[in-house]
Every structure is written in C-alpha cells, then in structure tokens.
C-alpha cells in the first residue's frame, strides 16, 4: 500500500498544480493509477467487490477534489467502479449458477475445466439479465418494479455463498483471484480504448468530410487533428480554417501540424469567425467534456463559433471520445434527476469553469501601474478575467462523433447509461453534498 | 514561478564563466511616479544591466539617494559596450547561488543586509571578479513580502489569480474546497451567512465563518472560524482565524491576527495592526497606523536592535508580530494574570493590549508601508513636491539651455578663460611694470630686458601689443617721476627716457597695430593717470615718431580712426593736427 499511496500522492500533486493538460492524458493516467490501486489492494475473503469499490472510491474522491475542473478524472473513477460492479455481478451470477449446478451434481469438484467453460456463457447471460434491472436506472421497467436495491444483490448472494460452508473456500479463493484478474483485464481494456479512441473517431472522418469542403475549427485538439488527417489520407481534398484560439493560441500549433501533413490551411483570428462562417461547410471542434444533456464544455470562444454556425445553418460537429469525455454530471443539489440535469451556464459554480492567470492575456510589467493597490480605495480599476472554458448548449450542437459512432445531442444521456452505473452517480452526489 | 529555467540558465553560464556566482530573478513592475516606491512599498530600485549578457552592473535603492540621482562609475561605461538602466524592475529576492557565495559570507561576516551589503560588495569588488547575472521572468509571478504594503499587494495579486495555479480555490494542503464565485469571491464550505449580509467583490471567506445581518464585506480576507456580528463593515482588511467581531464594528484596511476579539461598535482606522489575542473594548476607536500587542513595547534600544534584525533577516514581516507569536506560546500562564491588570487598559472598557508607539522611523513614513492605501492628502503632498521638483529642474534647465544648445563643455571653458584673462592682464601689467622699473634702476641692458619681456609675454600668452602698452606706461611714469618743473623739462625727461629705451619698442612694437595700440594707450594715460603729459602730447608723439617707435602709417591710421569719434576723444588729434598735416604733406611729396 505505501507505494500506491505514494503514486496517488504524486498524481494528486500533478493534478493540483495543473501539470497535466488535456482530458485524454488525464483519463489515461487516472485509469493506470486505479489499475495499480486495484492490483495492490488486499482483498478480504468476503465481499471482495465491496472492498475494491470502497478503495477505488476513496482514492477517486481525493482525485476529483484535487482538480474538480478536470472532469475526466471523475469519469474514469466512475467507469472503473462500474467495471468492478459488472465483473462482480457476472462472477456472482456465475457462482450462483455454479452453486445450483453443484447442488444438482454433488460429485463435481470445484474449479473444473467444464466450469471454466460454462462461466462466460452464464456470466454473459447473468449480466444481461442483471443489467436490465440495475444498470439502466431510467428504464421504465425499473421504475415499475420499484428499484431493487442494487448493492444488496451481490451482498446477499455473497453472504449466501459464505453460509454455504467451508467446503467452497477453495472456490472462493480462486474467485477472488478471478475477480481481480477480470477487473484488471477490463481496466486494461479501458486504457486501450482511451488510447485508441482517436483512431476510432478518425475512422469515421470520410463519412463526414466531403470533397472540396471548407472546415472550420477553433483552437487545437488532437482528436480534430487526427480526424482531419484521416480524411486527408483517404484522398479527400478540402480546406481548413483554423481560428487561433486566444489567449493560448493553440490554433497556431494546429495550423503548423496541418500544414506539415499537407493540408491547405488558413489561419484566422477568433473575431473573424463570424465573417468567415458563410464560406464554411462544417465546423468540427474538440471538447473538454460533454454534459449529460448534450451540452459541451469546450475551450473559451467556442460558444461564439457555435452561435455563428447556428446563425448560418452550418453543421456544428463535436468530436468526443466517449470514454474520456462523456460526463455524468450531478450539478446543483436542487437537481433531483441524475440525468438531463438543468445547467445554469451563468453560474460558474455549476459550470466548473477555471479562471487562469491573467498573465496569459497581458504582461504584468506593462500593466503593473494599473494594478497599484496603494492608491484610491485600495482596489484597482483594472480586473483581468481569463476563463478557460465555454459552455455550448445542446441545441447549438448538430452532431457528436464518438468512438461508437455519430450521436444526436439528445441521445447522450442514453450513452451515459451504458457506461456508468447509477449507483456511482448517487455516491458522487452524496460525496458532493457531504463535503 | 518555475525555477527550472533559471537554474538551467545559471548552470550553463557557470560552465562558461567560473565567476558567475549568482543569478538574481527580477520582474518588470513600474514604480509609482508620485511617491517613488514600488507596488510592494519598497524603495524605487535602479539597476544597470548589460542587455546582451544580462549581467547586473549596478544596484541602487532610491532610499540612499533622496534626490533621485545615481552615480555610475566611469569604468562601467568604459568596460561595457552597452548598458541599459532600469527603474521599472522589481527584485523578487530569489537568487540562485553557487557554493562560492557561502564562503563569501563566512569571509565577510559583517554583511548584514543581503542586498545593501552583499550584492553591492560583489559589484564593487573587482579583485575577485565575481559577477551577478539577472533572469527576468515575464508570465510567471514572484515577489517578496517584507512590509505591510507588500502583504496587501501580494494578497490582492493572489486573489486576482496572477499566481495561478497557486490560488485559493486550488487545494494544496488545506482540507476544504474553496469555490470561486462571481466577481472574485472565494468561499469555503460551511459558511453561515445571513441573507441580508452583503459580500462584495474580491473577498476570501474561510471555512466555518459566521456572518451576521446587514454586514458588508469587500476586498477583504477572512480566515477560518471567525464570528462576525451584524451591521459590521469590513473594507480591505485581513482577518486571520478565530477572530470575533461584535455588532456594529467598523474595520478599514486593518490586519487582525488570530484570536482577536473586537467588542461592539469599536472602530479600526486604516493601517491598524492587531496582534494575537488582543481585545478591543466597546466603542473604542483605534487610531490610524497604530499597532496593538499584548506585550508592552520594548525599550527604545531593544526595538532598535529588533528593527535592525528585521532589516537584515529576510523573512519576518514585523518584529512585533513574530515576537508576540513566539512569546505567546510560552506566556499563556502569565497572560491570565496580565488580563486582570488590563481593567484600566488603553484600549477602552474590557480591552487588553498595549498600543505601540510608532517606531523610530517616525510616523510620517508610516503610510508608505501600511496595509491601507496611501491617503489622498499624502498623495497630494507628494504630487506637490514633484511639481516643485520639476519647477526647479525647469529653472535650472533654462539656465543651462543657452550653453546647452551649443557644446556645453567648450562654452564653459571659454567663459573661464575670459575670467582668467582679465585677472592675467592685471597681473601681466604689474609684472611688466615691475620688470621695467627694476631694469631702469639696475641699468640692465636693453637686450636683456627685451628677452625678459618676451618670456614674460609668452608665459602670460599675450600679444606684442599688450606688451608695449604695458611697458609704455611705466616708462612715461619714470619720466614723470624724475624731477621737473616745467613742461619743457618734462619733455626733456621723456626724450631721455625714450632715447634710452627706444630699442625696446623697436623690437616689441614692430607692427602697425601695436603702434596704434601704443598711441591709444598714451592717449588714455594723458586723459586719466598722468595728466601732466596732456599739454605736450603732440611733442611727445613727434618725439616717438622721430625715434621711430611709432611709424608714420600708424599715426595716420590713428587719425583716421579718430575722425568719427566724439569731440572729447579728438582733443589730442586736434592738438597734433599740425604734425599730422605735415606728415601727410611729406607723404604726398614723396608720391
């Protein structure tokens, strides 16, 4: 445990000092950290899944608080929790089935090859059955059935397995290892997904970008770069307008990259977007996070681009790796429904914006005389605000392209239900309220 | 700021040059033009930096040069191809040093002030040849708190996020999350705030603080666990943890340390500092810029030492605070007994603590370093002083401009020469007279006298004309002094003297101009000092002509010059009219 704690602390430090930039890097590092946490976590004999969930949740809470703006961290923690639950559920249902099997044929020894073969089938079936009940909170069926306690299901079954007697201890031991192994496998898969989501998204480029089109983008996003280059590789010829993305001017870097890859590129200022938008066929942008209601948190200036696109009826396409950026957002405490929570973009507390240093906007030395606190009533007349993010409402977004394909903004909540367990949403809310 | 870059720069420079022992981090920040101090309340700073190598060549604080003038050594200008002088740099007091610096400190144990002694010592000392370089930071932020003003300024910079990511809503070690709201309001959780309380922009409110009805808080920082009553007004103040402020208090630009209790309706005027656990009595008004501590002010000598200590040490904000904090830990027991004594305190009913009188610096300077913004009357005063200054500068400028437009140096030299030459002429004439009289008395040969006069003339840088003039006067005087009764006798005397010394003039007054000069001199003498010659002017002139001291041409030209002159000046011309007439006729005959 000490090295895990050291790892966690190191990562926390990085998050606090805002040393990690970009949701993909953060997501990947979070997943890797949680993997090592899981692998080193000592699992008790009973209720292994519960112990793992508690451990991950405890660390996840620290991580989320360290940088509440970096939403990818919370997302990955929830994903991992969801994975643990899913695996546990599949194993439990397999065990229950196995138990039934063993009661039928008593002479069967535990851990046999046939058992191994049976398990995936059983588990898959069990998952499908259980998922219908537990993993889809908004489903009508669940509401009608009166929401069985999700957590109670594995608990009761495992305690049932406990009472089964010591004869099964060997089996449980292997199950323990099996659970951890499966979870780590699944987390590895998640990490793999995070790393390849660019490619998955980029594969769809040809379907969206047509010959001789003009594409506009703002700032810099690796996903957008890969997307455009994939289309270029497929012999599509098109032009790209890049808005520079003040005050960090990452658009300059994107333009450089695009030119290096042989794309016809035009660099414009952010304020020229409205003037240029009438010549543009499609706006393709990256995002920081996607809200449950289909809204987007994106680099500052994006809302202006979205509004310009809306005004000229230009499609506004947002690229988002579903693993890393789809956010389950529990906003204000007044919000009851876990999904489709109403967002108040004017309230930075809900929006989770980050105000960065004003030095990105102007030189401290040049303006230091405007910031003299020693004169007047002690407060300078100049105040510099440098927000990092913009909120783009869902109605301004035409299409989301995720690694699972294109989606309408209104479909986002559905996607979330596939990836996260409702239980974790509640946990997060309790956590938020308790703090 | 991130030190990595500066450290790397230092190491690379060190590899190339073994004498580069120190890298000083600086930041651009303009000083106030009115009161000549930086935003941080320190004195205006002058730096001379080599723009190419970034070597620090000169480091002067304005406090040592009250008139705003600094002197640079000539060698600086001689040794460096270019120098840039700055007064808009702020010293961040971050220095990256090599090991040599440590040994320098052991060698020079009398260094008390890092900047005043150590840096200047290095800069002045040529023997070791150590060099200091500068590293300017642009986008990152660094500064040092060494007085209340810088405490205030840097706090506000932090609230305005210049120090990002080191801002209150990013957690580092505290266990509570602070949220940033609109208009720069930072709020920790568990704040109990009355609905009618108004919290203005740029405030930080710590965890578990309670704020009562109708209280107004702006531009302030309030720590954890404070209790603020109703109708309290807090502007620009720093309130540390666990402070109790009762109803109706008014705080303006004050620092209030941990555990202070301010009883109902008390007022803190701008610039007040309350040390740990002080109690301010009901309706008491703490005067502006006063410092209040639980401990009595040490004797003057002590405070002197402490001040010096505070000056030389880099960290402590103020000795009183540090002191009180340290002593408090040990003195809790005695404290309870002290509190009983404070029934008749200086701080109103129920108050506890002593007001410290202003330190030796004098209270006039107090406003410079206080938390409170500079009072308007002081600003006005400073402005007035500046205007006066600039007027003086203008006056001196206008006095200098005429010469300044030309080449100032040469012009000055000329005027000096003028003065000198006036003095010289008098000297020369006296000298020449003395020499001549000595020669006359001792019967020195004429040739020797000529030689002597020539050397005298050269040493005083005079023309031959000056020389004749100077000699003619004593010569005539000599003639005058020798006994005579009538004008005829006088004429004879003159004739004998002239015949004796005519050779002198033949050598010295060769040129026509010199001869004219001689005539004019004689004329002058006749009018002023030796009026006896006036009646016999024409005779002597003839005599001089005969002896060939004065040429025919000179006399004619003198006559021409005098033609346009006044009647009074023409007296001698008329007197010698006959002679001149004769000369002209002789001239025509020759033609």
**Count of beta carbons in the 10 Å neighbourhood of residue B415:** 10
Choose among A328, A345, A334, A324: nearest CA to A394.
A345
User: In a mutagenesis test of the B interface, which of A368, A369, A383, A431 is the best target, namely the one with the most B β-carbons within 10 Å?
Assistant: A368
User: What is the mean predicted confidence (pLDDT) over B557-579?
Assistant: 71
As for the ipTM of the complex, it is 0.70
B161/A356 CB distance under 8 A: yes
Q: Does A406 touch chain B (CB under 8 A)?
A: no
- CB count, 10 Å around CB of B243? 23
pLDDT band at B570; cut points 50, 70, 90? low
Candidate ranges A62-71, A344-353, B258-267; pick with highest mean pLDDT: B258-267
d(CA B138, CA B297) in angstroms, rounded, equals: 43
Mean pLDDT, rounded, of chain B: 72
Query: Which one has a higher pLDDT value, B328 or B18?
Result: B18
β-pair type (B45-49, B20-28): unpaired
How close is the nearest chain A Cα to the Cα of B421, in Å? 55
pLDDT above 90 covers a percentage of chain B that reads 2
**Mean pLDDT (whole number) for A317-335:** 56
Which residues are registered as beta bridge partners of B417? none
* B236/A378 touch (CB, cutoff 8 Å), yes or no: yes
- List B404's β-bridge partners, or say none: none
Q: Which two tokens stand for residue B480?
A: 């005058």
List C-alpha distances in Å: A41 to A44, A50, A162, A192, A205: 9, 12, 21, 22, 42
Q: What is the pLDDT of residue B542?
A: 76
B58 bridge partner residues: B48
Comparing alpha-carbon positions, the chain A residue that sits nearest to B33 is A369
CA distance B537 to B573: 9
Predicted confidence at residue B152, as pLDDT, reads 85
- Say yes or no: B365 contacts chain A, CB-CB below 8 A: no
Q: Is the pLDDT of residue A68 over 60?
A: yes
Report the alpha-carbon distance of residue B240 to residue B243 in Å, rounded: 7
Residue with tokens 């402070």: B243
Query: Residues 6 or more apart from B355 whose CB is under 8 A from it?
Result: B286, B287, B290, B291, B292, B346, B347
Sorting pLDDT into bands at 50, 70 and 90, what band is A137? Answer: very low
pLDDT at B79: 78
User: DSSP secondary structure string, B202-238?
Assistant: SEEE-TT-EE-TT-EEES-EE-TT-EE-TT-EEES-E
DSSP string, A191-249: HHHHHHHHHHHHHTHHHH--TT-EEEEES--HHHHHHHHHHHHTT---EEEEE--TTTT
Before B313, cis peptide (omega within 30)?
Answer: no
CB contact under 8 A, B41 and A371: no
Give chain B positions within 8 Å (CB) of A370.
none
Q: Which of B41, B165, B235 is closest, CB to CB, to A18? A: B165
Instruction: Measure in Å the smallest separation between the Cα of B374 and chain A Cα atoms.
Output: 5
Contact B38, B29 (CB under 8 A): yes
Nearest residue on chain B to A383, alpha-carbon basis = B160
Average pLDDT, chain A: 73
The structure's pTM equals 0.64
pLDDT at B68: 58
Decide if B139 touches A, using CB distance below 8 A: yes
Q: Quick check: B320 pLDDT over 60?
A: no
Mean pLDDT, rounded, for A379-399: 84
Buried b (16+ CB within 10 A) or exposed e, A198-211: bebbbebbeebbee
The pLDDT-based confidence of A138 (bands split at 50, 70, 90) is: very low
CB contact under 8 Å between A364 and B165, yes or no, is: no
pLDDT, one tens digit per residue, over B239-268 is: 988 999 989 899 888 899 888 888 888 888
Give yes or no for B219 touching A (CB within 8 A): yes
**Which residues 28-47 of A are in CB contact (within 8 Å) with B?**
none
Instruction: Find the residue in B nearest to A384 (Cα).
Output: B160
- Of A17, A348, A377, nearest to B373 by CB-CB distance is A377
**Of B450, B455, B447, B500, nearest in space to B476 by CA:** B500
Contacts of A365 in chain B (CB under 8 A): 27-30, 88, 138
Q: Look at A365 and B219 and tell me if their CB atoms are within 8 Å.
A: no
Alpha helices by DSSP H, listed for A261-419, are 273-276, 302-311, 322-325, 348-351, 364-367, 412-419
Which pLDDT score is estimated for B419? 47
> How much is the average pLDDT of B581-585?
77
| A234-247: pLDDT as tens digits | 888 999 999 998 88
In 3D, which of A30, A91, A89 has the Cα closest to residue A61? A30
For residue B155, the distance in angstroms to the closest alpha carbon of chain A comes to: 10
A interface test, pick of B35, B373, B378 with most A CB neighbours within 10 Å? B373
> Which of the four pLDDT bands, split at 50, 70 and 90, describes residue A346?
very low
| B375 reaches A (C-beta below 8 A) | no
Q: Is B93 on the interface with A (CB under 8 A)?
A: no
> Does the beta carbon of B579 lie under 8 angstroms from any beta carbon of chain A?
no
Residue A435: pLDDT band by 50, 70, 90 thresholds? very low
Task: Give the pLDDT of residue A22.
Answer: 72
């Amino acid at each position: 445990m000490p090295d895990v704690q050291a790892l966690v602390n190191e990562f926390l430090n990085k998050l606090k000092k805002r040393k990690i930039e970009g949701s993909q890097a953060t997501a990947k590092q979070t997943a890797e950290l949680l993997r090592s946490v899981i692998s080193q976590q000592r699992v008790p004999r009973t209720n292994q899944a519960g112990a793992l969930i508690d451990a991950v949740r405890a660390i996840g809470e620290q991580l989320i608080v360290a940088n509440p703006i970096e939403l990818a961290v919370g997302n990955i923690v929830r994903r991992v929790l969801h994975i643990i639950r899913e695996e546990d559920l599949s194993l439990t249902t397999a065990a229950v089935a196995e138990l039934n099997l063993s009661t039928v044929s008593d002479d069967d020894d535990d851990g046999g090859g046939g058992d191994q073969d049976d398990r995936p089938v059983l588990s898959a079936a069990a998952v499908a059955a259980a998922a219908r009940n537990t993993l889809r909170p908004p489903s009508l069926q669940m509401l009608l059935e009166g929401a069985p306690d999700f957590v109670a299901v594995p608990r009761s079954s495992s305690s049932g397995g406990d009472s089964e007697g010591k004869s099964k201890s060997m089996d449980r031991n292997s199950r323990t290892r099996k659970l951890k192994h499966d979870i780590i496998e699944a987390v590895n898969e998640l990490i793999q997904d995070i790393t390849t989501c660019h490619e998955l998204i980029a594969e769809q480029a040809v379907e969206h970008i047509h010959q001789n089109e003009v594409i506009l983008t703002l700032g810099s996003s690796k996903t957008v770069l890969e997307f455009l280059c994939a289309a270029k590789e497929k012999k599509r010829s098109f032009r790209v307008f890049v808005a520079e993305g003040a005050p960090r001017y990452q658009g300059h870097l994107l333009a450089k990259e695009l030119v290096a890859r042989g794309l016809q590129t035009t660099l414009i200022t952010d304020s020229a977007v409205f003037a240029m938008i009438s010549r543009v066929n499609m706006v393709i942008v990256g995002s920081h996070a996607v809200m449950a209601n289909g809204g987007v948190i994106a680099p500052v200036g994006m809302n202006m681009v979205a509004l310009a696109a809306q005004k000229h009826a230009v499609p506004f396409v947002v690229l988002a790796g579903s693993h890393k950026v789809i956010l389950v957002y529990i906003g204000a405490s007044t919000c009851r429904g876990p999904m489709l929570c109403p967002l108040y973009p004017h309230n930075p507390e809900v929006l989770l914006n980050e105000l960065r240093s004003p030095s990105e906007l102007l030189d401290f030395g040049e303006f230091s005389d405007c910031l003299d606190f020693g004169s007047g009533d002690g407060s300078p007349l100049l105040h510099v605000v440098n927000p990092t993010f913009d909120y783009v409402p869902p109605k301004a977004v035409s299409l989301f392209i995720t690694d699972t394909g294109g989606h309408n903004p209104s479909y986002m909540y559905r996607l979330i239900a596939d990836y996260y367990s409702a239980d974790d949403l509640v946990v997060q809310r309790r956590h938020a309220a308790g703090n | 700021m991130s030190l990595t870059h500066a450290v790397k720069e230092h190491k690379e420079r060190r590899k190339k040059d073994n004498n580069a022992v120190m890298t000083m981090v600086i930041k651009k920040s303009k000083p106030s033009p009115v009161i000549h101090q930086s935003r941080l309340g320190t004195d205006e700073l002058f730096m001379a930096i080599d723009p190419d190598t970034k070597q620090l060549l000169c480091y002067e604080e304005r406090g040592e040069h009250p008139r705003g003038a600094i002197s640079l050594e000539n060698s600086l200008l001689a040794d460096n191809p270019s120098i840039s002088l700055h007064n808009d740099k702020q010293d961040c007091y971050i220095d990256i040093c090599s090991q040599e610096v440590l040994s320098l400190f052991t060698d020079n144990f009398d260094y008390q002030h890092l900047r005043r002694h150590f840096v200047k010592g290095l800069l002045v000392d040529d023997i070791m040849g150590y060099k200091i370089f500068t590293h300017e930071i642009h986008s990152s932020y660094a500064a040092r708190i060494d007085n209340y003003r810088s405490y205030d300024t840097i706090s506000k910079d932090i609230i305005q996020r210049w120090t990002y990511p080191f801002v209150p809503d990013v957690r580092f070690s505290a266990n509570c999350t602070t949220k940033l709201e609109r208009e720069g309001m930072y709020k920790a959780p568990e704040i109990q705030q009355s609905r009618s309380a108004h919290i203005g922009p740029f405030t930080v409110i710590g965890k578990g603080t309670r704020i009562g009805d109708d209280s107004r808080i702006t531009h302030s920082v309030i720590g954890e666990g404070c209790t603020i009553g109703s109708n309290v007004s807090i502007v620009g103040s720093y309130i540390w943890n666990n402070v109790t402020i009762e109803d109706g208090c008014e705080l303006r630009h004050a620092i209030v340390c941990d555990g202070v209790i301010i009883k109902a309706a008390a007022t803190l005027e701008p610039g007040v500092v309350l040390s740990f656990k002080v109690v301010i009595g009901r309706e008491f008004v703490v005067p502006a810029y006063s410092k209040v501590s639980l401990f009595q002010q040490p004797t003057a000598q002590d405070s002197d030492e402490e001040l010096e200590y505070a000056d030389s040490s880099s960290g402590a904000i103020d000795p009183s605070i540090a002191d009180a904090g340290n002593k408090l830990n040990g003195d809790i027991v005695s404290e309870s007994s002290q509190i009983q004594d404070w029934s008749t305190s200086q701080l109103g009913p129920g108050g506890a603590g002593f007001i410290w009188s202003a330190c030796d610096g004098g209270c006039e300077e107090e406003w410079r370093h206080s938390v409170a913004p500079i009072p308007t009357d002081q600003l006005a005063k400073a402005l007035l002083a500046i205007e006066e200054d600039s007027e003086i500068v203008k006056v001196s400028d206008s006095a200098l401009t005429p010469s300044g437009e030309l080449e100032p140096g040469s012009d000055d030299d000329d005027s000096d020469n003028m003065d000198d030459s006036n003095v010289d002429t008098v000297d020369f004439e006296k000298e020449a007279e003395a020499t001549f009289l000595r020669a006359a008395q001792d019967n020195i040969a004429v040739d020797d006298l000529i030689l002597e006069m020539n050397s005298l003339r050269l040493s005083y840088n005079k023309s031959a004309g000056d020389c004749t003039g100077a000699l003619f006067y004593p010569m005539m005087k000599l003639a005058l002094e020798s006994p005579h009764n009538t004008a005829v006798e006088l004429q004879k005397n003159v004739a004998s003297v002239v015949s004796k010394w005519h050779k002198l003039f033949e050598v010295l007054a060769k040129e026509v101009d010199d001869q004219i000069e001689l005539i004019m001199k004689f004329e002058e003498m006749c009018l002023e000092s030796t009026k006896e010659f006036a009646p016999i002017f024409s005779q002597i002139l003839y005599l001089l002509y005969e002896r060939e001291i004065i040429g025919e041409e000179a006399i004619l030209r003198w006559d021409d010059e005098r033609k346009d002159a006044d009647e009074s000046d023409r007296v001698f011309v008329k007197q010698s009219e006959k002679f001149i007439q004769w000369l002209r006729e002789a001239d025509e005959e020759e033609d």
